[in-house]
Amino acid sequence: MKNFKDQIAFITGGASGAGFGQAQVFGREGAKIVIADVRAEAIAQALVKLKAEGIAAHGIRLDITDRAAYAAAADEVERVYGGPPTLLFNTAGVNSFGPLENATYGDFDWLLGVNLGGVVNGMVTFVPRMIAARRPAHVVTTASVGAFLPSNIAAPYSAAKAAVVSLMEAYRLALAKYDIGVSVLCPANIKSNIAEATRTRDARFGATGFVDNEQSIASLHSIYRHGMEPVELAGHVKRAVEENQLYIIPYPETQPQLRQHFDAIVAAVLPMEADPEGAAKRVKALQDWIAGEAKVFMPPPPAGAATDKR
Ligand SMILES: NC(=O)c1ccc[n+]([C@@H]2O[C@H](COP(=O)([O-])OP(=O)(O)OC[C@H]3O[C@@H](n4cnc5c(N)ncnc54)[C@H](O)[C@@H]3O)[C@@H](O)[C@H]2O)c1
């Protein structure tokens, strides 16, 4: 997608940080913006700023873990802008840090629920509507470079983000035939309000085993205030959507650690000489299956597939 004018951009977490940067950058290109966020007051403030720039913007208070509310939000977008999103940004996310061995079920339920479950809800809600609309479209989901780098204090978050990377890799394969591109953004440090994420944690998740107090929040702010500006990050996202890139990782400082991580994985694979006959047999079985039986699981695109070229 090269032209963003009159595209319909639905941005979760759009009231703050990376999501608000996306609203500004794509709004300035002429996209019609929906910011969906759990914090009503932050939505109101964000809308004032966007509208002051002449950006068409609509706000929806949405907790992305609430599936019924998500469906209602999708209906609202269609009512307001006349169709489903052609740009879906699954950007909302929350973080919390503490010793993994102290994590409660509530910590896992909240961190997996928002960071993974919220993305699942976005895809299951919108993908069928986007396919049915038969318009070229693009999905950008925000994971994290933490998806690839283990941390003993951010494990539920990193696990959710790793799952999100895997999901987007698969959705990219699944949606190409509908002319829907998919990208996954893996930021390192962003200048945002994520240090305060625990303030949005719902009481239903009960007690945390992680560290959450004024001191820990202040400590996190001391990192994030040196992060990349959200508008700069969103500029990288815009270029990646224009080029239909899968991975968006505009942080050069992460390359050595990522290389080390993936080199270690590749180095763990036995060389071909270790089992040439077994490998050949398994590869042939898989190839035969893909050429034959696997078609059962991969029906041809339905009549609703997009025909326009992006
Ligand atoms: N800040 C960083 O350094 C960093 C690094 C890597 C990845 N990320 C990811 O970037 C994304 C954006 O975060 P940010 O750093 O801009 O933080 P942010 O806190 O400034 O913005 C996140 C927004 O998501 C909203 N939100 C939280 N829970 C929600 C829910 N259940 N439903 C709807 N909205 C909800 C918040 O109200 C907030 O406005 C997240 O997915 C985060 O995990 C951030």
pLDDT in tens, 73-126: 999 999 999 999 999 999 999 999 999 999 999 999 999 999 999 999 999 999
13 close to ligand 1 (CB < 6 Angstrom): yes
- The pLDDT assigned to 207 comes to 96
154 close to ligand 1 (CB < 6 Angstrom): no
Q: Whole-angstrom Cα distance, residue 200 to residue 202?
A: 6
Catalytic residue among 70, 81, 157, 251: 157
* CA nearest to 180, candidates 12, 305, 4, 11: 305
- Report whether pLDDT(45) > 90: yes
Q: CA dist 120 to 65, 114, 124, 217, Å?
A: 9, 9, 6, 28
> Ligand 1, from 10, 35, 94: best to mutate by most atoms within 8 Å of Cβ?
94
Q: In which residue are the tokens 């009960």 written? A: 206
- The pLDDT assigned to 310 comes to 43
21 close to ligand 1 (CB < 6 Angstrom): no
**Catalytic residue flag (residue 157):** yes
Q: Whole-angstrom Cα distance, residue 228 to residue 231?
A: 8
Query: Which residue, judged by its Cα, is nearest atom 23 of ligand 1?
Result: 13
Q: How confident is the model at residue 308 (pLDDT cuts 50, 70, 90)?
A: very low
- The pLDDT assigned to 50 comes to 98
- Report whether pLDDT(17) > 70: yes
- The pLDDT assigned to 162 comes to 98
- The pLDDT assigned to 297 comes to 87
- The pLDDT assigned to 304 comes to 54
3-state secondary structure of 198: helix
Query: Which residue, judged by its Cα, is nearest atom 38 of ligand 1?
Result: 13
65 close to ligand 1 (CB < 6 Angstrom): yes
Distance 189 CA to ligand 1 centre (A): 12
- The pLDDT assigned to 298 comes to 78
Beta bridge partners of 87: 9, 138
- Report whether pLDDT(26) > 90: yes
- The pLDDT assigned to 294 comes to 84
CB 39 within 8 A of CB 31: no
Return the ligand 1 atom nearest residue 230 CA: 16
What phi-psi label fits residue 179: left (phi over 0), alpha (psi between -120 and 50 degrees) or beta? left
- Report whether pLDDT(303) > 70: no
Strand order in the sheet with 32-37: 57-61, 32-37, 8-12, 87-90, 137-142, 180-185, 247-248
Give the tens place of pLDDT for each residue, 28-38: 999 999 999 99
How buried is 27 (Cβ within 10 angstroms: 0-12 exposed, 13-18 middle, 19+ buried)?
Answer: buried
Q: Whole-angstrom Cα distance, residue 119 to residue 6?
A: 24
CB 19 within 8 A of CB 90: no
Give the tens place of pLDDT for each residue, 116-151: 999 999 999 999 999 999 999 999 999 999 999 989
141 close to ligand 1 (CB < 6 Angstrom): no
- Report whether pLDDT(225) > 70: yes
- Report whether pLDDT(185) > 90: yes
- Report whether pLDDT(301) > 70: no
94 close to ligand 1 (CB < 6 Angstrom): yes
Give the tens place of pLDDT for each residue, 270-287: 999 999 999 999 999 999
Q: Give me the amino acid identity at 62.
A: L
